[in-house]
Amino acid sequence: MKRSITLLDVLLVLVSFVTWVAGDVSYCQQKTPLEVRPHSVTITEFGAVGDGKTLNTKAFHNAIFYLQSFADKGGAQLFVPAGRWLTGGFVLISHLTLLLDKEAIILGSTDSDDWPIVDALPSYGRGRELPGGRHRSLIYGENLVDVIITGDNGTVDGQGSVWWNRFRNGTLNYTRPHLVELMNSSEVVISNLTFKNSPFWTIHPVYCSQVLVQNVTILAPLDSPNTDGIDPDSSNNVCIEDCYISTGDDLISIKSGWDEYGISYASPSSNITIRRLTGETGLGAGIAIGSEMSGGISNVHADSLRFFNSDHGIRIKTAPGRGGYIRKVYISDLTLTNVRIAIRFSGQFGEHPDEFYDLKALPRIEKISIKDVRGENISTAGLLEGLKDDNFINICLSNITLSVTKQPAWNCSYVQGYSNLVSPRTCDLLGGKIYPDHLSDCYRLSNHLRSMVGRKKEGSILPC
């Protein structure tokens, strides 16, 4: 069952792993491209029918089971040709490439029985929507290494409307499934594909490391509930770049567990790089951090961002009982058009998994730098709401120019920080100018701003 190499295989030459260097964005830089897998089969060799009606779950299962014997022989590839391939959930293996033809569409079954029930994540303690277990994702993997999901812009369509309707009608029995979820896995590449209509969050790497999501398109109706684009969760060394996302909720949402379960599991998200991201969201944010952040989130770098027709640009979400921390976040080169709130911090956001959370477990939010932001037709520049007796500190804003339609442009409470070259002028709580002594409080200020501060005479006031 070995297929000869075609032009589609050449796509793999374009798929690259990442150089992973903790604490630096260099882990997004590509190294030598991968070679074509030495063993390859086509899904039709296992009886699959691409008519959009025949259920092909067994064919996917049998093909991957067969390819498992090649895992220690250079890995293997499962090719999905042109067609509409209806399937329930299936499970990937290590050293596998799932390769979709340009005209290939993997369709998620609309029968919930074809999406198996699995245990809740230990860092959540229950299903995110309902107590108990949850439906497993359409494409799933656990404890894997060296996994590639790619193609010539083929499509994975979750046909999520049936799930959205059940959510709206209150008829779900378990938490809705993701479209792709990989757990406890490393050396993961997801690239050159379109993902549509996920029942819930679309791409969910959880407890993973060394993850590259590159050149993907993610689509769902702007009113579809909780259809986040990409949600790195308790994961580290994640690179997201060159993506277009248009969904009903957050385009990117960084997470790390929920209340006492996330605190106990203690698996942070760190070293997350996001760059060259474009999109719109109905009810969410371009980039959100939280609200499930109890394991901690740090070292987030995002730049070259374009968000339009959206509810929020950048949002940080947390609540008493979350514990954990969000620190060392650096966001730059952000363009916003027709966005309701450009920057929002919410200290009282979201529900709790159960009654056992500790209300005294307060989150620590610090060292958040946002710079080089331009915005047109923005309703509110910033709504920054920290927590009483738990201020969000060292919030640094620089070189931000927004065309705002409502007043006041900024509304702040329980936050502390610094600002420079912000128009309209920011709130008094962030009115402290950035002096040289404060540079260490502002995470990774640009060399330009450092040099500008250095040229100021001691004791002078920077323009704001």
Predicted confidence band of residue 68 (pLDDT cuts 50, 70, 90): very high
The tally of domains found in the chain comes to 1
Q: How far apart are CA 79 and CA 8, in angstroms?
A: 9
Residue 419 is part of which domain span? Answer: 41-453
> In sequence order, which residues have a C-beta less than 8 Å from that of residue 4 and are 6 or more positions away?
none
Residue 3 lies in a domain: no
pLDDT tens digits, 213-262 = 999 999 999 999 999 999 999 999 999 999 999 999 999 999 999 999 99
The residue to which tokens 């050396």 are assigned: 187
- In this structure, is residue 25 part of a structural domain? no
Does residue 428 lie in a domain region? yes
Question: For residue 87, what is the domain's CATH number?
Answer: 2.160.20.10
- Whether the CB-CB separation of 120 and 141 falls below 8 Å is answered with no
Beta bridge partners of 339: 310, 378
- Residue 295, domain member (yes or no): yes
Residue tagged 């049998």 (tokens): 62
Q: Does residue 15 belong to any structural domain of this protein?
A: no
Q: Using a pLDDT cut of 70, give the percent of the chain over it.
A: 88
What residue has token string 């691409």? 50
CA distance 411 to 309: 22
Which helix (H) or strand (E) covers residue 340, if one does?
Answer: strand 325-346
Residue 356 domain flag: yes
The catalytically annotated residue of 249, 259, 311, 441 is: 249
User: 389-405: per-residue pLDDT in tens?
Assistant: 899 999 999 999 999 99
Beta bridge partners of 189: 148, 212
Which segment of 12-16, 206-210, 292-296 scores lowest on mean pLDDT? 12-16
Q: Which amino acid is at 459?
A: G
Is-catalytic flag, 249?
A: yes
Domain-embedded: residue 32 = no
Tell me the per-residue pLDDT of 111-135, one tens digit each, with 9 for 90 and over. 999 999 999 999 999 999 999 999 9
Which sign does the torsion angle of CA 52, 55, 112, 254 carry? negative
Instruction: Calculate mean pLDDT across residues 384-388.
Output: 97
Contact 80, 106 (CB under 8 A): yes
Distance CA 243, CA 286 (A): 12
CB 214 within 8 A of CB 235: no
- Whether 230 and 218 have beta carbons less than 8 Å apart is answered as yes
- Is position 297 within any domain? yes
Q: Does the pLDDT of residue 18 top 50, yes or no? A: no
**Residues whose CB falls within 8 Å of the CB of residue 6, separated by 6 or more in sequence, listed in order:** none
